[in-house]
Structure 1
Amino acid sequence: MSSITVTVIDREGTRTEGVDWKDYESLMEALTRHKYPILATCGGNASCSTCHAYLDPEAFRKSGGTNEEEEDLLEMLDDTRHETSRLSCQVEWSEDLDGAEVTIAPEW
């Protein structure tokens, strides 16, 4: 089993470096395992947007971008969407994301 580490900034602005993310998890699963307040109401099926997060620009580029389903949900987040917004349930583990910075988006 492989793992990488990411830096997570929570909704209060607290920065935590060295958060481990295992290769069998989505980003959402890693965040919830570390007890970050991700609702994941839909269980990681890209149908609720309660796992919205921002990636640093390089990590966003390396994450492979959004698919049509994810894009449709992100479009509904007018007030909180950024150009590096992702649904964390749709961000798959990759060694390329080692050291990424993830900011948990505000609750809507």
Structure 2
Amino acid sequence: MSSITVNVIDRDGTRTEGVEWNSSESLMEALTRNKFPILATCGGNASCSTCHCYLGASAATATANSPIGDEEEDVLDMLDDTRHEDSRLTCQVEWSEELNGAEVTIAPEW
């Protein structure tokens, strides 16, 4: 199994560098395994927004292997106040070596 690391900024603004993300996991699974406050109410099925995050600019281009699908787009469309250009649902971001060192900011709770 391969792994990479990402840098995570939590809702309090605390930055944690070198968070391990294994190739068998979605970003949501890596974040929850590392005890970040991701509820994942829908279990990773892109039907809630409790795993909403912002990906840094370099990460946004590196997610070409897992672009925003229709279901994810529908959920993100409901986030009027907190959706940004770089918004993603962590359950829909697939592991990629290109994401090594990426910055992930956990979005505010609604």
TM-score (normalizing by structure 1): 0.98
Letter in 1 for 2:32: T
Instruction: Specify the alignment match of 1:78 in structure 2.
Output: 80
* 1:40 is aligned to 2:29: no
Distance 1:62 1:25 in 2: 17
CA distance in 2, matches of 1:81, 1:48: 14
CA distance in 2 between counterparts of 1:18 and 1:98 reads 9
Q: How many residues align?
A: 108
Q: Give the CA RMSD over aligned residues.
A: 0.6
Q: Which runs of 5+ in 2 are unaligned?
A: none
SS at match of 1:19: strand
Alignment-derived partner of residue 53 in structure 2:
53
Work out the CA distance in 2 between the residues paired with 1:87 and 1:26.
10
Amino acid at match of 1:44: G
Q: What one-letter code is carried by the residue in structure 2 that aligns with 1:61?
A: T
Q: Distance in 1 between matches of 2:53 and 2:70?
A: 17
Please report how far the alpha carbon of residue 62 of structure 1 lies from its aligned counterpart in structure 2 after TM superposition.
1.2
Match status 1:5 vs 2:10: no
Distance 1:19 1:36 in 2: 10
One-letter code aligned to 1:107? E
Runs (5+) with no aligned partner, structure 1:
none
Which runs of at least 4 in structure 1 moved beyond 6 Å after TM superposition? none
Percent identical residues:
75
Question: d(CA) in 2 for partners of 1:81 and 1:93?
Answer: 22
